[in-house]
Structure 1
Amino acid sequence: MANIIFSLKDAALRLNGNAGPVDILKGINLDVAAGESIGLIGPSGSGKSSLMMIMGGLEQATGGSVQAMDQDLTAMSEDQLALFRRDRMGIVFQSFHLIPTMTALENVATPLELAGHQDAYARAADALDAVGLAARANHYPAQMSGGEQQRVALARATAPRPAILLADEPTGNLDSANGDAIMDLLFDLRDQHGSTLVLVTHSDALAARCDRTITLRDGQIA
């Protein structure tokens, strides 16, 4: 049997809203194999991003269990989750979340430095080269286009060569040409590192590039 990277059993997420508790995710059961790519699709508000958030330990499931690489994320503290993400995961968001006061090179090198890599800047330079931005290494985010900033975010997520790549609408703020280029890069980098990819997208065409598509409706797998 294939090595299972993610295993969710009856995973639920209930958040307190102004009008009382809201059930965002309702009993999600899902296994994801090592090296598999999963496309999460569904209408706005269906729970796609929330599912990715509990798989990444960015949000704690309020029911059931979420296991990643045989670790129980629901039993971890915030600090333990942060260390787990640092060592095992690369995450790309729709908004690039770059540090504005740091150059592209510094943005990519920082998580490597935090993880204790002695060659952080060399690896960051290689990662920027892999996304076609070697010449922009010393530029700040404000000096770059949206497509270039997302490339930096992609380099930052993949430079540690994570076992797991999570991408939440990574092309949502880009035009179609830049979006297509970013997706090509994402799949190329996934293939190079053998990462397991979880991709949240509104695009059926992007989801179709994944090994498997999961459709969410009203907080449940359809």
Structure 2
Amino acid sequence: MDAIPRSPLSATPIMPLVRIRNLHLTVPSAAGPVNILRGVDLDIAKGEAMSLIGPSGSGKTSLLMVLAGLERATSGSVLLGGQEITGLGEDALARLRRERVGIVFQAFHLIPTMTALENVAIPLELAGVRDADGRAGAALQAVGLGHRLTHLPGQLSGGEQQRTALARAFAPEPALLLADEPTGNLDHATGESVIDLLFALRRRTGATLLLITHDRALAERCDRQVHLSDGRVADGRVDGAVAG
């Protein structure tokens, strides 16, 4: 494996935003333990856009859930910004998600009884951000929904709901954005506009992106593509070397 990149002005290794080492996830089932992740090693550089591809059941969403602190690894190490997160308690993980991680799922996960503005403002309020409504409004304006602030999710189209979810994910200015098939519930044209918006917001904020997709063309828009197969990295670059 090649050496980790080093700063040209220093002999100190450059620490990636995300460092995953020997990550395992095993879950119980009626037929016995199921090994979902089988020793994943992966680095994601700060500011990088990385796509994670692979067949259904290969462990892509499970890896994302571990990074988000929504699933606990059985063993191994996950560093986010140099902080080990695998041993954090539930309160610390919730704080991590509020302050450093944005998540966009295939399903929009908007609260149906709250307006678009209220849905975007919730994580800001929980993080203690002053003027959460003002910041949420600006985030919705940035995704082209400044005229839909008071609309409930049921009054929005699928594309508008996903743009609201994007605004909610980006409003706290996360270091890491996790996106799991974000266009899976959208038609092709709407999905393309949402993806264009996602990449534009990422460039504007400098967020690191991990994107799960089955779409090869979409995957190739990222800086790097990593293939997951049977719970392992099958190809891609771990920290400068091709992973096999």
TM-score range, shorter chain: over 0.9
1:128 is aligned to 140
Report the Cα distance in structure 1 between the residues aligned to 2:155 and 2:30, rounded to whole angstroms. 40
1:212 is aligned to 224
Report the Cα distance in structure 1 between the residues aligned to 2:29 and 2:181, rounded to whole angstroms. 24
2:22 is aligned to 10
Name stretches of at least 5 consecutive residues in structure 2 with no aligned partner.
Answer: 1-5, 7-13, 235-244
1:21 is aligned to 33
Q: Post-superposition, which runs of at least 4 consecutive aligned residues in structure 1 deviate over 2 A? A: none
Report the Cα distance in structure 2 between the residues aligned to 1:175 and 1:93, rounded to whole angstroms. 16
Report the Cα distance in structure 2 between the residues aligned to 1:87 and 1:161, rounded to whole angstroms. 8
SS at match of 1:75: coil
Identity of matched residues, %: 60
Report the Cα distance in structure 2 between the residues aligned to 1:124 and 1:3, rounded to whole angstroms. 32
Moved more, 52-61 or 194-203: 52-61
Alpha-carbon distance, 1:62 to partner = 0.5
RMSD between superposed Cα atoms in Å? 0.8
Name stretches of at least 5 consecutive residues in structure 1 with no aligned partner.
Answer: none
Report the Cα distance in structure 2 between the residues aligned to 1:15 and 1:95, rounded to whole angstroms. 24
Which is strand-richer, 1 or 2?
A: 1
SS at match of 2:147: helix
Alpha-carbon distance, 1:91 to partner = 0.5
CA offsets 1:5-62 (integer angstroms, 9 cap, x no match): 1111100100011211000000000011100111000111111111111112111110
Moved more, 159-168 or 51-60: 51-60
Q: Within 5 A, what are the aligned runs for 1:171-210?
A: 171-210=183-222
Which is helix-richer, 1 or 2?
A: 1
SS at match of 1:172: coil
Q: Which has the larger radius of gyration?
A: 2
TM-score (normalised: structure 1): 0.98
Q: Is the 8 A contact 2:153 2:161 kept in 1?
A: yes
Moved more, 68-77 or 1-10: 1-10
Number of residues of Structure 1 aligned to a counterpart in Structure 2: 222
Alpha-carbon distance, 1:63 to partner = 1.2
